[in-house]
Amino acid sequence: MISKKERGHIDHIKAANSGAGFAGKIHRPIKIVVLGAGSSFTPRLINDVLKIPGIQGGEIALIDIDANRLRTMHKLINKLVAANCRGDIWNVTASSKRREVLGNAHYIVNCIEVSGIDCVRFDYYIPLEYGIDQCIGDTSGPGGLFKGLRTIPVFLEILRDCEEMSPDAYVLNYTNPMSMMCIAAARSSSMQVFGMCHSVQGTSRLLAKRAGVPFTEMTWECAGINHLAWFTRLEHNGKDLYPLLKEKAKKDLSGNPVDLEDTADLVRKDIMLHFGAFVTESSGHLSEYLPYYRVRKDIKNKYCRSGYDGESGFYAQNWPKWRKKADRDREKMLRGEKPIEWERSWEYAFWIIEAREKDTPFRVHANVMKNHRKAGPLIENLPYNGCVEVAGMVDRSGIHPTVYGKLPPQMAALCRSLMGAYELAVDAVIEKSKEAAILSLVLDPLTSAVCSPSEIREMTLKLFEAEKDYLPNYQ
């Protein structure tokens, strides 16, 4: 028998899955600020908020230092508002100077990119000289570290402005490296910062599809750290789905053409077989967080595929192209050559806003600091001062992370191997310390599997020199 509470939660999941939204009305105009509004996320994110039933409008403030992209996005968001809303309920403002529009915000969505277009190739090609082969390189390893060193100082400056101008706002961060961003914010700011990611929503739906069950009927638990959270429970009508998924994975990894069903996502499938659970992020990301898959050429060829499945240099070689394509697409949208009629997505940011404003309890997964909960750790066998990704319940009083308990020890150990590196990376930012940055990479699982400590030091200093214009005052 399903309890009333469980039935209510299932109904809310169905509402989110269908895009229908929750019953009721939002009783106040709200102000939403988007930092890095030139991001490719912005049109769909704003579309999501415009699709909230019963919303009363308010202000959407766009901030970006790229004047051309900001100008285009301002026009596009105005067009979206006109297409989705009756009456003049939304005021869309834009500025390249954040303090002009940051005041009195209720929600601040952070999508900034700091010097990525200039430095992404340094982040990939210099480590490659030392044998460190990255696919994405924006969360861990040399690429993730240096993206953090460039991005976190700007984020902390933004948070200081938020403390002064919108101290009660919720900051919903989408920018990587997620864990580093959240740790630095918790150490340096009084703002309420929550890390938003696509991984849990996307992978839970993927697993339901692979298991052949309706997503809304699947029972699951997921916890860990960003991009390395584990689906420790997957059930349908009380039946464990892992035996079926593992059997499929064995066939996909067998190499026998007769047995093959799906040759994508092999790294995650292999980790599931050996560690016992499926991981939230793509095989391309996951292969970078571990010392197993990108060290020997024969192993990489066996498990890594094109694109997000593990392609070498995928992010570095494609990011500039993606930015240009995004710019062209926006121009086409403005000219009416590309549609802007989208269904509401399952991105958490604006479901959080709707659930909070309507006081409708709803479960999300977010990245939070463990010391966010004073009574004790959220995941018992991970470091207390680390950033973890866990379920949380949203209502009018906020986002309430839930206590998970203990991860299986082998899963916790992989998470801890990255958490120590992230802590040192944040030390490097706050203390402007090259030494802490070097030690962060000495502890990074992939980097340390390839290089000696002296090679890591040499490579890190070379990266500092290549990106010195974006990394002032590091000693």
255 burial (CB, 10 Å; 0-12 / 13-18 / 19+) is exposed
User: Beta-strand (E) ranges in 269-356?
Assistant: 278-279
CA distance 334 to 73: 9
CA distance 161 to 102: 8
First to last CA, the chain: 62
137 sits in which H/E element: none
CB 148 within 8 A of CB 429: yes
Annotated catalytic residue: which of 27, 74, 106, 198? 198
CA distance 118 to 115: 5
CB 314 within 8 A of CB 284: yes
CA distance 447 to 249: 28
60 sits in which H/E element: strand 58-63
CB 252 within 8 A of CB 102: no
Would you call 106 a catalytic residue per the annotation?
no
User: Which three-class secondary structure state does DSSP give residue 39?
Assistant: coil
- Count other C-beta atoms under 10 Å from residue 81's C-beta: 19
CA distance 341 to 348: 20
Q: If you search the block for the tokens 């952070």, which residue do you land on?
A: 110
User: Which three-class secondary structure state does DSSP give residue 323?
Assistant: helix
For 458-471, give the DSSP string.
Answer: HHHHHHHHHTGGGS
Q: If you search the block for the tokens 């991005």, which residue do you land on?
A: 151
Q: Which of 385, 444, 464 is nearest to 182 (CA)?
A: 385
293, two tokens: 């898959």
Helix axis angle, 178-188 to 409-431, nearest 10°: 60
User: Beta-strand (E) ranges in 146-236?
Assistant: 170-173, 192-195, 218-225, 228-236
CA distance 167 to 191: 6
CA distance 471 to 460: 13
Which residues are marked as active site?
Answer: 198
